[in-house]
Amino acid sequence: MDYRVAHRFLSSVQEDKLIPVKFTKTCYGLSEFMHSLPEPVDQDFEALVPRWLARRLVAKGYAVYSATQVALKAKLSTAIYREEQSNALQKLDESFYAELGATIEELSDAEDPSLSAVQSKLQDYLRMRAKKIRRLAETKQHVDFLDSLALEERCWFADYRRLFQEWVDGGWFTEQSGFGARLWLKG
């Protein structure tokens, strides 16, 4: 499976996840979508609502995200710290990247000034993970570390390992030159 398809699937699952919002205006009719909400929802009321609903409420000016950026920064900082402290890949939740992506989208929707710093941290983290995954893909090591990878990373690893193996096996080269070397990754 392509890592982009895996990410889109996991991201779609995130749409029903409950996230905190704080209402900025009195809002009517929401109890049709969520029976746990009062009718009407008053200004300054805080509630957990599905991400898809939160996105619409924020876009229309009825609510703001609560504690989103704090949770994201803490999660990303913790992940970076754990990754830096070890040569091994640290275990990620299956939905790690989908959750981060949804939260970054929320920061973007809210025009949060810390968005570029968060995106920069995420890029650094992705580079750290990719370097470790590439190193593992280029070895003959057993794949017992796969449970530490998010779904997107497992898909990317499989694609990269296949391409690397094709390259080092030299099949593309032997067809052109007649050179018949068998290299170490087979077997």
Whether residue 178 has pLDDT greater than 80: no
**Host domain of residue 95:** 3-174
8 within a domain of the structure (yes/no): yes
180 within a domain of the structure (yes/no): no
102 within a domain of the structure (yes/no): yes
Tokens of 152: 């997107």
Helix (H, G, I), strand (E, B) or coil at 119: helix
Question: What is each CA distance from 70 to 41, 73, 104, 118, 152, in whole angstroms?
Answer: 25, 5, 12, 11, 25
- What per-residue confidence (pLDDT) applies to 184? 47
Whether residue 95 has pLDDT greater than 90: no
Of 73, 23, 84, which Cα lies nearest the Cα of 48?
A: 23
Task: Work out the pLDDT band at 182, boundaries 50, 70, 90.
Answer: low
pLDDT in tens, 98-147: 888 888 888 887 787 888 888 888 899 999 999 998 988 888 776 778 88
Residue 65 contacts residue 48 (beta carbons within 8 Å):
no
Look at the chain and report how many structural domains it folds into: 1
Q: Which residues of 99-118 are buried (b: 16+ CB within 10 A; e: fewer)?
A: bbbbbbebbeeeebeebeeb
For position 40, which CATH number holds? 1.20.58.2050
- Per the prediction, the chain carries an average pLDDT of 83
Tokens of 182: 């068998």
What pTM was computed for the model? 0.68
Over range 20-44, report the average pLDDT. 90
- What per-residue confidence (pLDDT) applies to 25? 93
187 within a domain of the structure (yes/no): no
Dist CA 100 CA 84 (whole Å): 19
182 within a domain of the structure (yes/no): no
Question: What is each CA distance from 88 to 34, 95, 100, in whole angstroms?
Answer: 43, 20, 22
Number of Cβ within a 10 Å radius of residue 177: 9
168 within a domain of the structure (yes/no): yes
Number of Cβ within a 10 Å radius of residue 71: 15
